[in-house]
Structure 1
């Protein structure tokens, strides 16, 4: 490889989507909750985009959308490119069928938001497989009894999932139990579920867990109020210093027919019937 080739490669890298994340480091840091380490967050975002050529291509197709999705992750205080906040390439009708970046809050992100509210001591979200034992009778049992033979034969196919939280006072929250049919119904509402890059296809069990965690989030405190206070403070600062934010504005066309519209809105989990689906 010649010196000129190396120089060209560096120039492309330094003007690509990853470089844009670095460029707007301060702006993303201003959006994050105070407990988030901005340097670590940026490293995760840059590592995720540089480590997958499909993500690079999708981000280059519309860098503004990519930066907007990262803005959502920053506001929620979730780690991009992890099971807290997936970054996936998704075909967009508004972009002529080309792929753009779609951010999807994962089950670990939902659990993080529940913990952050400070009302629970633990959150349990588990998948049940065909060879596991599982018993739970609402009204009789406080919590499910789930038996797993960790050292025996294969656990078998996914058959269900459940979630509950133990509150700080020791009480048990509502227990959410979903069977395969219910999980598949949630999957069917997701416009992007059949994409090769959808977490439904790359990490199916995690999406089963997300479906249960998302239902649980309706019954336990989340960090919604915490996030509202953060955003209110940021809005006040922005109003006083309108030139401080250098992040590109979100595109005027903020919705896309291919989008999954079930994600948290500023950390509030909206009802399935209102959203039309789960990621």
Structure 2
């Protein structure tokens, strides 16, 4: 008489032979191994020269170790978000250049305010761009119009008080400049209107509010800056969810574009027409 172990083994072999055995769901680690050649092709040159897919894998493992909630998300959306970050040359993590945010069962890619600054500087049209918080006890004045002016003297000798607004300014290659000032109320309104992931546990809005507020005011400032088609395409990837790997991740459609006030496909097409 056959033992139960022999019966179980016989049933397993029969299932395999009939193709009825349920397929094991691939983990993110399985996908990384499977897609290594494709990942290697899609990586930007600086990453290929600096470790290639091996460095990419180390970054992936660091993110998964730092935020285990990513393991519960769709593996393809995790890899796509990581690839977006890598192709933009923005490393996710403590540098604050980019974030991989668990959003339900998906991974949303977000550019940090330092990432926006880095991308703007690379455009060649902007010499410098930065953002600051203004506290109640600082000396702060600004004026829009024909005689616009911006002056901020932080109170470094005593209690600066609560933050009540943020501003961003940029110096342009042609010698011009531009700035935007936003109250915390306006920033919070934009957050609540456009960022669906803002209320999730792992959102940087909950852990790094100051950085996200600066990012918001920088994004508003970019409306008034001379930016290239390439920069528009790059920043349009902010707060998106994708499930495909390509050599150019900007070509992959997003399943969840949350804040499309700048860098939409229509704007990119119009910019391209102007340059033709």
- TM normalised by structure 2 equals 0.67
User: Higher helix share goes to which structure?
Assistant: 2
Match of 1:207 in 2: 212
In the alignment, structure 1 segments of 5+ residues that lack a partner are: 1-14, 92-98, 230-244, 272-279
Aligned pairs, how many? Answer: 221
Question: Residues 76-122 of structure 1, C-alpha deviation per residue, up to 9 Å, x if partnerless?
Answer: 3322234221112222xxxxxxx432211111121111111111211
Match of 1:17 in 2: 28
Match of 2:63 in 1: 48
The equivalences for 1:232-243 within 5 A come to none
Contact 2:232/2:263 (8 A) holds in 1 = no
Match of 1:166 in 2: 171
Instruction: Tell me the CA shift for residue 48 of structure 1.
Output: 2.1
Contact 1:163/1:213 (8 A) holds in 2 = yes
In the alignment, structure 2 segments of 5+ residues that lack a partner are: 1-25, 235-244, 266-276
SS of the aligned residue for 1:136 comes to strand
Distance 1:75 1:186, change over 3 A: same
Match of 2:99 in 1: 86
The equivalences for 1:125-140 within 5 A come to 125-139=131-145
Whole-Å separation in 1 of the counterparts to 2:263 and 2:31: 30
Contact 1:119/1:167 (8 A) holds in 2 = yes
SS of the aligned residue for 2:196 comes to coil
- TM normalised by structure 1 equals 0.66
Contact 1:85/1:103 (8 A) holds in 2 = yes
User: 4+ runs of 1 displaced by more than 6 Å?
Assistant: 226-229
> How large is the RMSD of aligned CA atoms in angstroms?
3.4
Whole-Å separation in 2 of the counterparts to 1:149 and 1:46: 42
Whole-Å separation in 2 of the counterparts to 1:76 and 1:65: 17
SS of the aligned residue for 1:192 comes to helix
Contact 2:169/2:221 (8 A) holds in 1 = yes
